[in-house]
Amino acid sequence: MAGRPGPGLLLGMGMVVAAAAVPSPNPAAEPRVYLSSWAVRVAAAGPREAAGVARRHGLLCLGQVRPGEPYYHFKHRGTRQKALSRHWGWHMRLTKDPKVLWFEQQTVKRRAKRSVSVVPTDPWFYKQWYMNNDINPDLNILSAWSKGYTGRGVVLTVLDDGLEKDHPDLAANYDPLASYDFNSNDPDPQPRYTARDENRHGTRCAGEVAAVANNQICGAGVAYNAKIGGVRMLDGLITDMVEAQSLSLQPQHIHIYSASWGPEDNGKTVDGPGMLATEAFYTGVTKGRGGLGSIFIWASGNGGINYDNCNCDGYANSIYTLSVGSVLASGQRPLYSESCSAILTTTYSSRTTSEMQIVTTDLHHRCTDKHTGTSASAPLAAGMIALALEANPALTWRDLQHLVVRSSKPAHLQAEDWAVNGVGRKVSHHYGYGLLDAGLLVEMARAWTGTRPQQKCSVKALHTPLPLSCTRRNIGSKLTISTDVSSCSSSSIRSLEHVQVQLSLSYSRRGDLLIALTSPTGTTSTLVTVLRCGNCRWISVRTSSCTGREGTGAGGVWRGVWGHPSPPQPQPPPPSLLTACPSRPSSGVRRSSSSSRGSPHHLGTGIQLAAWGERANAGHGGDTTAEVVRDRGVPSAHKSSPPP
């Protein structure tokens, strides 16, 4: 109403209202709801005069609608606050009041938020406690979804025992170009069905990553709009060639390769990729994704119950893979989860069938809520990496390692070995840098500006054989080897990313040895732990640990994070490589072996420290490798083949 209408206009308004009371021919039309509330403009009056006008009509003045403006909020004192028609009595009174210039009875307006609900409607999503847990910290995936990142445009493949490509919760996201069967040499990754469903592993891992959301089937994948493929390569004879072919499948099409397998987790085996698979890793990170680098996500291993150590797994400890550990909902480490200095981050899994486990797709078009192990942790990380790649498709394989370290949180994870490294970041052999946070990961990925090219430097740590003997009299003794690493100082490597120790030794009982690497700042990374199996066989030992940044060059070894260089510091002492006889016999090992009798053993001439990090100079160009001293002691330039 504007001004004070005459009787004719009032009659017209009454007729309109009467017409509006007739049921609408449109069944979808909803009636207007009127409130016992008015916006009123009072002529030349302040708050006191407006309150007086309201009182004359039996209304309450609740103050100005907008500060400094003559519009006031009048409200009826009665209990009935809603109606389907106007309050005509007050309408007439306000119309006749000379001090009321304008008024309008308030109605309820229907408005919708212009955002997509991030909570999927899938029937089992409520079981996905690792995504929607209100008690303990979850993986913060809903936060990433709320920012609009669901994996769209990212392609992943699961290297495993096959993929049920026609599963109703996977079919819409299935990508045939990201799939192959290297066991049967055909493009169909469909698993081989058996009575006991032994080949369900790959389908379960794939569902964690890319199960379709909001389709009323099972739950939702972490990256539910990503494309998913499967590589059948574990259901047959596994060779170096099969692994290399799997790791090299469509590297310009596939962004992320997820693997939840490795050497036997028996606490005895030390094994890793062969020459072809090693070449495949190196070619993937240097040429995959148009030169940005393929992303290899690896489960750390389930051998914890056997005292296995993932540093003895050449896949999990490769600098080219992103190794993922497990933690329970309670924040405790599962007994099966392996520990090592190569673990970069952690996601959730479970312990027993009495606990809530991981929800995913299963064979025969079914769903399961019984997936577990570090096999379940790696695909969750792969899905979160897919969210980060959607946020910033230009991220390199090294960028993602940096981001994962920065977006992993140690809070809530229980371990006795948490330590603050040389760059002030907490780190654990059980969990790496902590629980991966998807929301933080995508936020940092959006703003990430990239890293400098990678530089490698190698230093020979031992040139002559060194005797090593453990007897009953010197149990717990230490042999320390200090190495001058000034050649890998900040003049060539600005900030450290990885350090790898390659050593050759002759010793009868590997399980009796502990080998650790200590940085100039005092951070110790355990490379080989004492094993229950003293007479475990030797294959090779090549261990690596993610290392520091935040102003640290290669003047030492840090297991930390990277950042900006600090002012020049005094030259720190060289890092040390420590081998030790155990302080007490390990479980199940008799101490009457030849080593206990003092027979001679040797550390060979093959101890070598290799450091990777950001190049110190700001020049352009690709990743390079500095002068490398090979095992045979001959210097050589090394640029195109995998590092030793």
Strand 295-299 and strand 321-327: pairing? parallel
The helix or strand, by DSSP H or E, that contains position 294, with its residue range, turns out to be none
Residue 162 lies in a domain: yes
| Residue where a domain stops, chosen among 107, 129, 163 | 107
The Cα 317–Cα 322 span in angstroms is: 8
DSSP letter at 429 equals: T
376 and 514 in a single domain? The answer is no
161 and 214 in a single domain? The answer is yes
Q: Which domain holds residue 462?
A: 454-636
What are residue 221's DSSP bridge partners?
none
The pLDDT tens digits of the residues spanning 200-211 come to 999 999 999 999
Report how far apart, in Å, the C-alpha atoms of 228 and of each of 231, 469, 493 are: 10, 53, 38
Which ranges of 211-300 does DSSP label H, i.e. alpha helix?
A: 240-247, 275-287
Instruction: Look at the block and give the residue holding tokens 């095992």.
Output: 631
349 and 434 in a single domain? The answer is yes
Q: Say what the pTM is.
A: 0.76
Q: How far does the chain reach from its first CA to its final CA, in angstroms?
A: 85
443 and 462 in a single domain? The answer is no
Residue 124 lies in a domain: no
3-state secondary structure of 383: helix
Residue 289 lies in a domain: yes
The pLDDT tens digits of the residues spanning 423-458 come to 889 999 999 999 999 999 999 999 999 898 988 888
Residue 138 lies in a domain: no
24 falls in which pLDDT band (50, 70, 90)? very low
CATH of the domain at 461: 2.60.120.260
The Cα 190–Cα 178 span in angstroms is: 13
> What's the pLDDT at 80?
64
Calculated CA dihedral for residues 30, 32, 36, 37, nearest 10 degrees: 120
Residue 1 lies in a domain: no
Report how far apart, in Å, the C-alpha atoms of 510 and of each of 269, 530, 557, 605 are: 11, 8, 24, 18
410 and 546 in a single domain? The answer is no
| Tokens found for residue 148 | 């609009």
| Cα of 621 vs its chain's centroid, Å | 29
The pLDDT tens digits of the residues spanning 461-482 come to 776 777 766 666 666 667 777 7
| Residue where a domain stops, chosen among 418, 447, 476 | 447
The Cα 110–Cα 31 span in angstroms is: 11
> What's the pLDDT at 604?
52
**What is the arithmetic mean of pLDDT over 588-594?**
27
296 and 323 in a single domain? The answer is yes
The pLDDT tens digits of the residues spanning 415-428 come to 999 999 888 899 99
| Tokens found for residue 329 | 């909902």
3-state secondary structure of 361: strand
pLDDT above 90 for 369 = yes
Report how far apart, in Å, the C-alpha atoms of 221 and of each of 136, 160, 276, 288, 362 are: 20, 18, 32, 25, 13
Report how far apart, in Å, the C-alpha atoms of 230 and of each of 53, 542, 641 are: 75, 29, 28
132 falls in which pLDDT band (50, 70, 90)? confident
φ, ψ dihedrals at 441, nearest 5°: -60, -50
- In the chain, the number of structural domains is 3
- Listed residue (575, 417, 588) closest to 512, CA to CA: 588
470 and 401 in a single domain? The answer is no
> What's the pLDDT at 20?
35
CATH of the domain at 36: 3.30.70.850
| Residue where a domain stops, chosen among 447, 480, 498 | 447
Residue 515 lies in a domain: yes
Summary mean pLDDT of the chain: 80
Q: How many CA atoms lie within 13 A of 54 on its CB side?
A: 25
The Cα 163–Cα 170 span in angstroms is: 9
406 and 507 in a single domain? The answer is no
328 and 439 in a single domain? The answer is yes
The Cα 259–Cα 158 span in angstroms is: 6
612 falls in which pLDDT band (50, 70, 90)? confident
pLDDT above 90 for 270 = no
Catalytic residue list: 160, 201, 375
Choose the most confident range, by mean pLDDT, from 59-73, 237-251, 492-506.
237-251
172 falls in which pLDDT band (50, 70, 90)? very high
pLDDT above 70 for 634 = no
The Cα 525–Cα 527 span in angstroms is: 6
393 and 483 in a single domain? The answer is no
| Tokens found for residue 525 | 């990374």
Residue 420 lies in a domain: yes
The Cα 306–Cα 265 span in angstroms is: 7
Residue 128 lies in a domain: no
151 and 269 in a single domain? The answer is yes
312 falls in which pLDDT band (50, 70, 90)? confident
The pLDDT tens digits of the residues spanning 319-357 come to 999 999 999 999 999 999 999 999 999 999 998 667 889
The Cα 467–Cα 636 span in angstroms is: 29
pLDDT above 60 for 574 = no
CATH of the domain at 151: 3.40.50.200
> What's the pLDDT at 490?
56
Q: 94 or 307, which is more confident?
A: 94
467 and 607 in a single domain? The answer is yes
**What is the arithmetic mean of pLDDT over 202-222?**
98
